[in-house]
Chains A and B, each alone.
Chain A
Amino acid sequence: MGALPPDWGVPELTDANRAWFTSGALAVQQCGSCATLIHPPEEVCHACGSMSFGTKVLSPRGTVHSFTVVHYAANRALADSVPYTVVLVSLDDAPELRVVGNIEGPVDIGMPVVPYWEERTADDGTVVLLPQWRAASGT
């Protein structure tokens, strides 16, 4: 379980983000023309201008690039969730890509982490699998 409510902020799925939020893998948008990896996904490739995309599954490893422990609940629906920790993870296969997630326990910049997937369900029955993070074993 993540630190936030199970119905909180469920992403609306689009063609561009469906693989990321439903595959249970780090399925990053990849330009169909020049193979540039793009995250968060966009509608036009920033490297070549192409509008056709696929996805590439990256290995499930990352490094904490930054983090914050949130103590003030900016929304009252999160009042029982604070403090919660948000990490910005640089993916080991593509360090220029940064992925947001939650983590529990001690955290520091440079810490190796691995993803797991948290299921959340929206009112309309939409189910997503959110990448979340934990310390890589052996660290």
Chain B
Amino acid sequence: MHGAAVVVGVGESTYYKRGGAPESEFQLACSAIRNAVDDAGLTMRDIDGVVSYMERNEPVRLSAALGMGDLAWTAQTFGGGGNGAGAAVTLADAAISAGYARCVVAFRSLAQGQFGRYGQSGRARRSRGVGAFTVPYGIQTPAQICAMQTRRFMYEHGVSQDSLAEVVLASYAHAQHNPRAIRYGTPLTRDEYHASRWIAEPLHLYDCCPENDGAAAIVVTTPERARDLRREPVAIVAGAHGLEHRDGVGAFGEAHFPTAHHRHVGRQLWQRAGVKPDDIPVAQLYENFTGPVLMALTEMGFCAPGEIDDFVADGNLQWPSGRLPINTSGGNLGEAYIHGFGNVVEAVRQVRGESTCQVQGVELSLSVSGPGYAPGSAVLFGRA
């Protein structure tokens, strides 16, 4: 384990349904960062780096408003949408490991009430670029794209609709333990899942992540700096980020279809970490839609695609007794959809022993970012 950088703080804003936040997206970002820096026992003047992915709120405005120190490192993941969440953590790790910065905040804020909704498209009387090959046919949103991927994945590997349900039921079951979760107090049954309306077959309403307002952040620093701080540090054991040649090419023109874009990510991650999927007791897998979560599980090496029905069946993804509890905060489906950064925060909490669905004796805790988009990423946390 390389252990060159550690996480010493985590924080969130309050999470809201879309349009429910009384604060602006920028204010939500500032609240989450403040909470993470406070949690670390640092002052804002200690922060000399800011990283994110697909983020609107820029370092100039954030550092001015929050009173950060002089910034030495500002970076964002290049492409990949929500599959860049883990990569943002590796950008912080890289800055710390290379000595470019001492205390880096990694965060994401998203207010789909204030800004556009991911689940709706703009008016499209004309289409251009790669969109000219999909928009005229009514393919514009992530749900529609992931539906096409999921249908083919289910066909090739004999995956049942019940396996999609297992992902949803795990998130909702875990959210019932987490007072931060938007679905706290709103359980879901398998029958309710199957009875819910279609969005784009084979995706039901509950297969699709909600649209939310909120922000989440972590603070990354050196093991030396962490020694003086009040929280037990959590190691960034390994991160991985990238794509294979012709992954993610638009209009379904990629070399391998369908893919979650985690084959190359998985190979890199396990090789760097020197561990294997069987060593992982708990994982957070970004649920944009349930089908891509199953694809990500197989591409990260937890099981062969043809074994996925057995791997997830009978509550095997659920805490406390499942073989691999996933999305233990409720995840994107049950806690909040903050473009997957809530999953990163929860992965850190599992190592700290602070999850509301705490797996016992966690030495390694995995976060896999948004499947279906490229480049992809994942990050493995562990005891420092």
Contact = CB atoms under 8 A, between A and B. Distances in A.
B248 to A, nearest CB: 13
A75 B148 contact: no
A136 to B, nearest CB: 19
Contact of B124 (A9, A66, A67): A9
Given A66-B148, A72-B143, A86 B136 contact: no
Interface in A53-97: 65-72, 74-75, 77-78, 81, 83-84, 86, 88, 96-97
| Interface range, A side | 35 or more
Interface string B287-310: 000000000000000000000000
A109 B128 contact: no
A81 B143 CA distance: 17
B141 to A, nearest CB: 4
Contacts of B122: 75
With a 10 A CB-CB cut-off, give which of B119, B136, B155 has the most chain A CB atoms. B136
B139 A86 contact: yes
A68 B200 contact: yes
Given A10-B126, A40-B130, A72 B199 contact: yes
Interface in B118-142: 119-128, 130-141
A102 B249 CA distance: 21
A31 interface: no
A81 B126 contact: no
Contacts, number: 138
A72 B200 contact: yes
With a 10 A CB-CB cut-off, give which of A7, A88, A96, A97 has the most chain B CB atoms. A88
A110 B134 CA distance: 21
B44 to A, nearest CB: 40
Contact of B121 (A39, A74, A88, A100): A74
A40 to B, nearest CB: 5
With a 10 A CB-CB cut-off, give which of B125, B133, B258 has the most chain A CB atoms. B133
B200 A9 contact: no
A33 B114 CA distance: 49
A11 B148 contact: no
B197 interface: yes
Contacts of A102: 137-138
A11 B127 contact: yes
A100 B134 contact: yes
A10 B144 contact: no
Given A69-B201, A74-B140, A10 B127 contact: yes
B354 to A, nearest CB: 37
Nearest to A98: B252
B368 interface: no
Interface in B129-168: 130-141, 143-144, 147-149, 151-152, 155
| Interface range, B side | 35 or more
A139 B328 CA distance: 48
A9 B253 contact: no
Interface string A5-19: 001111110000100
A75 B121 contact: yes
Given A12-B132, A40-B130, A40-B251, A123 B137 contact: no
B257 A100 contact: no
B292 to A, nearest CB: 14
B29 to A, nearest CB: 27
With a 10 A CB-CB cut-off, give which of B143, B201, B250 has the most chain A CB atoms. B201
Contacts of B130: 40
B125 A11 contact: no
Contact of A100 (B128, B155, B198, B252): B252
A125 to B, nearest CB: 12
B137 A4 contact: yes
B149 to A, nearest CB: 8
Given A9-B136, A109-B152, A74 B144 contact: yes
User: Which 7 pairs from chain A and chain B are nearest by CB?
Assistant: A11-B132, A9-B136, A66-B152, A68-B147, A9-B135, A71-B198, A9-B127
Given A74-B143, A75-B120, A130-B136, 7 more contacts: A10-B136, A11-B136, A40-B253, A71-B198, A72-B143, A72-B199, A98-B253
15 contacts: A2-B137, A9-B136, A11-B127, A12-B127, A21-B132, A39-B133, A46-B246, A66-B155, A68-B147, A68-B202, A100-B133, A100-B134, A100-B137, A109-B152, A109-B155
